[in-house]
Amino acid sequence: MDSSVLNPRGEPHQQVVQQAINWLLQLRNNAANPRLRQQCDRWRAEHHEHELAWQRVQSLHAELSGNPRTVPGAQAAFNTLDHSASGMGRRQALKLLSGALLMGSAAWLGKDAVGWQQWTADFATATGERRGFQLPDGTRLELNTASAVDLDYTAQQRLIKLTRGEIIVTYGGIDEGSSFDRPLRVHCRYGVYEGVGARYILRQEADCTRLSVTSGIVAIVSPLPADGTPIRLNAGQSYLIDHRQAKPVPPLNMDVGAWVDGLIVTRNMRLKDFLDEVARYRHGYLKCSADIAELRLSGMFHLEDTDKLLTILPQTLPVQLRYRTRWWVTVERQA
């Protein structure tokens, strides 16, 4: 591996991050140029660290677009880029934005650990974003909204670390040329999981992890029950795991993997639970009044536009939407 690409901590070199920023800014101002997009794609494919730098810059840019005050200097840089026609002005803006993205600030890091996770994770998504990745061993990894994952592939193991959010893991066998079978495991705050020929979903909640198996077999390697034997789950089974125990739970009243297709598919789901789910894909506040929390709904809802999704509710339930702002929405009983 080219040592000039990585710094001593294994992170992309500052020069590579600046190249990624430069590509992002060029595409930002030349969105209708397919040739430029192809050139950027070729640059990303040249080296793993190019793609890593690109993912981090894109994730942070998405956060900045929603709230540019999170990084001091970013708003001024974007304003200059949008309004300056001179090369000198744009070069100054690029320097300012590069510094803001690369250096950040203690206030920003202390306030927004999520933003920092997106910057430092090997793979990450912003709020409302869903992305899929093919790993070197053929494993398919899907990240749901506001999720972050690190990889630790060595000669002894293949380890995926879920640090935030929700993923779907589709088993990809072993690397070609490996002299022995390295187990593929996923580690998160609560538990370690090993699947063989499996496709499974891990969702990290505040106080537990939900594991749902859609095909194959998945073993809960940690925490182990009293007899020390790993729990083995078959397709269709779900478990909740915390730091003390793993216990089976009935399926949710929604399709747990439909988000990979940009959908929420519900089956007699409580309105409160449905809105909590939708809220994961948008910024701001979204709740319902207590007197309608138990209303039920079933159906297929598209995630690409959550504002449009919410407008469907008054058509199917006796409710109305009340907007304080676009980002502060409450659902109330219909007057």
Average pLDDT over residues 1-13: 46
pLDDT tens-digit series, residues 147-160: 999 988 887 888 99
pLDDT, residue 121, reads 67
Q: What is the dihedral angle through the alpha carbons of 94, 97, 103, 104, rounded to the nearest 10 degrees?
A: 180
Q: Is the pLDDT of residue 219 over 50?
A: yes
Q: Which of 230, 232, 202 is nearest to 217 (CA)?
A: 232
Least confident range from 180-184, 243-247, 294-298, 310-314: namely 180-184
Q: What residue ranges in 165-295 does DSSP mark as E strands?
A: 166-170, 184-187, 192-204, 209-222, 231-234, 238-241, 246-248, 263-270, 285-288
Q: How confident is the model at residue 88 (pLDDT cuts 50, 70, 90)?
A: very low
Structural domains of the chain sorted by starting position, each given as residue range(s) with its CATH number in brackets: 14-120 (no CATH), 131-248 (2.60.120.1440), 258-333 (3.55.50.30)
Instruction: Check residue 153 and give left, alpha or beta (phi > 0: left; psi -120 to 50: alpha).
Output: beta
Q: How confident is the model at residue 1 (pLDDT cuts 50, 70, 90)?
A: very low
Rounded Cα distance between 140 and 123, Å, is 13
The rounded percent of the chain whose pLDDT value lies above 70 is 74
Least confident range from 52-61, 132-141, 262-271, 281-290: namely 52-61
pLDDT, residue 3, reads 37
172 contacts 139 by C-beta, under 8 angstroms: yes
Chain center to CA of 324: 28
Q: Is the pLDDT of residue 167 over 90?
A: yes
203 contacts 209 by C-beta, under 8 angstroms: yes
Average pLDDT over residues 83-103: 52
Q: Which of 261, 258, 260 is nearest to 269 (CA)?
A: 258
Parallel/antiparallel/unpaired status of strands 231-234 and 209-222: antiparallel
For residue 195, what is the DSSP state?
Answer: E
Q: Per the confidence metrics, is the pTM higher than 0.95?
A: no
Least confident range from 6-10, 165-169, 238-242: namely 6-10
